[in-house]
Structure 1
Amino acid sequence: MAVRWLDLVDPTREQLVDALEVHVASEVLEMLLAAPVERPRQHLEGHGEYVFGVLVAMSPVPEEDRIESREVGFVATTERLLTVRKTPPVGEAWAPECLEVAGDVSVGELVFRLVDDVADSFLDVVDAADAEIDELEDHIDDWPSARVRRRISSLRHDLIHARRTVGATRAKVRRIMDKRLDIANEELFPEKVERLFADTYETLFRAGEELDMARDLLASSRDYHQSLIAENQNEVVKKLTVIASALLLPTLIVGFYGQNFLHSFNDFYWSIGVSVGLIVASTIAQLAVFRWRHWI
């Protein structure tokens, strides 16, 4: 029995050409051989004898506070599915357990299992993002402001990338469901397989909705953090105003006393005692008023 699935990891040009059953376009070959990037783009196209695709599975890495994109390309004919897995710049290549346990199924169902596994990876991203946002909300009052800003910025970019990837994947799956993507004889995705893709579409729709919700929660955390910064700045300004006000009257007393009574009061108690008494009395009175008005 012919092998229905062949897997390659970071192949050379010679290995890829030898593994292909059909002649593929040069741009398809170049995309399959292209070096992995941090945030790859997705493709799914029909080319007469074969269907070519590049999918992006996402895997959260909680210990490093990041989301890893794992690119997997494929070429599918009626007889064989060839997958080309690429090892990302940091991390591991996509794991094909879903295809290893598939058993003796058609190539179309193998493609479904591949796409469905990629769709499920976005739900893992949603769970990880919710956990990260919960942690951020728990520590937003005690973490340094710079750390909170970095974490919010990193999460925001990861969520935007994940949402765009989910939207692109959902659009590709929709093309299969609408019978707009197949090989020339329409045997790769029969009606039975197309119905399976409906479940994947629902998974992608759910992932997109929950990612939008996570972005809203993150935006709320960002607004709360900004309000904390504004509140802290107001407290600093209030304290500086109290200090300036407390020093204003003593400065006025010393200046007025020194300019107008330089030779009038030569006794010690007049020059030191009275001025110090006025300064202390005026300062205590100001502090009492500030305390009464709840300014300090």
Structure 2
Amino acid sequence: MSMAGNLRKVTSLGRVGGLRKVARLARRRDRVDLSHPARSPLGSAVVNCVAYRDGARVPGGRDLVDTVQRIRKNDEGFVWLGLHEPTQREFAGIAELFDLHPLAVEDSVDAHQRPKVERYGDTLFAVFKTVCYVEHKELTATSEVVDTGEIMVFVGHDFVITVRHGRHGSLGPLREGLEADTTQLAKGPAAVLHAIADHVVDDYLTVTDAMQEDIDQVETDVFAENGARADPGRIYQLKRELLELKRAVVPLGRPILDLATRPIRVVDPEIQAYFRDVSDHLLRVTEQIAAFDELLNSILQAHLAQVTVSQNEDMRKITAWAAVIAVPTMVCGVYGMNFDNMPELHWRFGYPIVIGVISVACLVLYRGFRRNGWL
């Protein structure tokens, strides 16, 4: 039976004596080899499960239950279990084994949570919004710029459980980087929590740098010679995508600050210093997002002002030409009444003089409008 099958079977066990029953069940089933390289799939939701002691992998782990039992028996090291979009049924056995709070389990399965850090007894539950910049050849009014996902982290005395939702944000490279730094990984589950928070915030910085290029391009187009013809939908689209990024970044400020300053049982004071660095980076991202929002508002207002000015220029031109055309229209209207007692009708020079008057009047009006910038 697969590991997922073992975990589903675990859900049928009662709370009393659950761990001993889980152990007996696991011994009766075929074992799943957990000593795979990072990102090796172990089931429909389980991505990886590795035990660590003194910052190094513990070799020979073949079953989740046995791995947890050995770690707890020796009271050394911890287990890092990685999941990707598990169902409630798939996660039930893991929740039973690690005694996770039902509310936190529900949040980790359902996703679409606000960034937060909560404590349930000796277990810390953290939610991070992940972001990814969507590459595009040209920004349009319908371009997707920011793609979001979520990472939920359960941190206990001897375990870390990561639950990832979304198409991006793989923690495989992060795990490999931590395994290369045994000194940091030896500090326990809190070191993994810090590495994940730092990884997520670094992605925020990457996305904001990429969005800076899009905003610069829109700004250049708006203030170009024909800026009034720029598509305002691109500006609105950037503001919508920036709002999506803001929803991921801003709510995380308070939880990260709590991890950096408030005493938490599962977070060593030495690790809290690292969270202060993450908090500084997050503050930089928050300020950059606020600056982007103000800049986009200014660009939008400038574009609307350009459109208004362009429309006024068009109206001035139309008005000027209407005034020029009004002169021959009026004269021709007068002579088109066909009264008998109009001596100019029988005068030899009447027609040339009328044409000359019309031409001079139109020329004077035209030059006057040109001089005032209406034409």
TM-score by length of 1: 0.86
Select which of 317, 323, 329 maps to 1:251: 329
Which amino acid in structure 2 is aligned with residue 98 of structure 1?
A: L
Amino acid at match of 2:239: R
Q: Which residue in the other structure is 2:237 paired with?
A: 154
Q: Is the contact between residue 54 and residue 72 of structure 1 (CA under 8 Å) also seen in structure 2? A: yes
- Match of 1:11, SS state, is coil
CA distance in 2, matches of 1:173, 1:254: 81
CA contact (8 A) 1:50 1:77 kept: yes
Relative to structure 2, which stretch is displaced further, 254-263 or 23-32?
Answer: 254-263
* TM-aligned CA distance change 1:118 to 1:131, over 3 Å: same
CA distance in 2, matches of 1:137, 1:79: 51
Deviation (angstroms), 1:257: 2.7
1:71 Cα shift? 0.8
Structure showing greater relative contact order (alpha-carbon pairs closer than 8 Å, 6 or more residues apart)? 1
Alignment equivalent of 2:145, drawn from 63, 66, 87: 66
CA distance in 2, matches of 1:112, 1:262: 102
Q: 1:147 to 1:280 in 2, by over 3 A?
A: closer
Q: 1:6 aligns with which of 73, 81, 106?
A: 81
Matches within 5 A, 1:62-211: 62-63=135-136, 64-87=143-166, 92-96=167-171, 97-103=173-179, 104=182, 105=185, 106-140=188-222, 141=224, 148-179=231-262, 182=264, 186=265, 188-211=266-289
Residue number among 359, 362, 368 corresponding to 1:283 in the alignment: 362
293, 312, 320: which one aligns with 1:242: 320
Where in structure 1 are there 5+ consecutive unaligned residues? Answer: none
Computing the radius of gyration over CA atoms, which structure comes out larger, 1 or 2? 2
Contact kept, 8 Å, 2:128 with 2:197, in 1: the verdict is yes
What's the % identity of the aligned pairs?
A: 21
Q: Residues 112 and 284 from structure 1, CA distance in 2 versus in 1: closer, same or farther, beyond 3 angstroms?
A: same
Q: 8 Å contact 2:228–2:310 — kept in the other structure?
A: no
**C-alpha distance in 2 between matches for 1:269 and 1:95:** 95
Which segments of 5 or more consecutive residues in structure 2 lack a partner in the other structure? 1-57, 59-66, 68-77, 137-142
Q: CA deviation at 1:18?
A: 2.4
Q: Number of aligned pairs?
A: 284
Compared with structure 1, are the counterparts of its residues 152 and 7 closer, same or farther at alpha carbon in structure 2 (3 Å cutoff)? same
Could you say if the C-alpha distance between residues 4 and 280 of structure 1 is closer, same or farther in structure 2, counting changes exceeding 3 Å? same
Contact 2:132–2:203 under 8 Å retained in 1: yes
- For the pair 1:50 / 2:132, whether they are aligned, the reply is no
Q: Is the 8 A contact 1:254 1:275 kept in 2?
A: no
- Which secondary structure does the structure 1 equivalent of 2:259 belong to? helix
Sort the Cα spacing of 1:65 and 1:206 in 2 relative to 1 into closer, same or farther, 3 A.
Answer: same
Going from structure 1 to structure 2, the CA distance change for 1:8 and 1:277 (only over 3 Å counts) comes to same
Between the aligned partners of 2:107 and 2:241, the Cα distance in structure 1 is 24
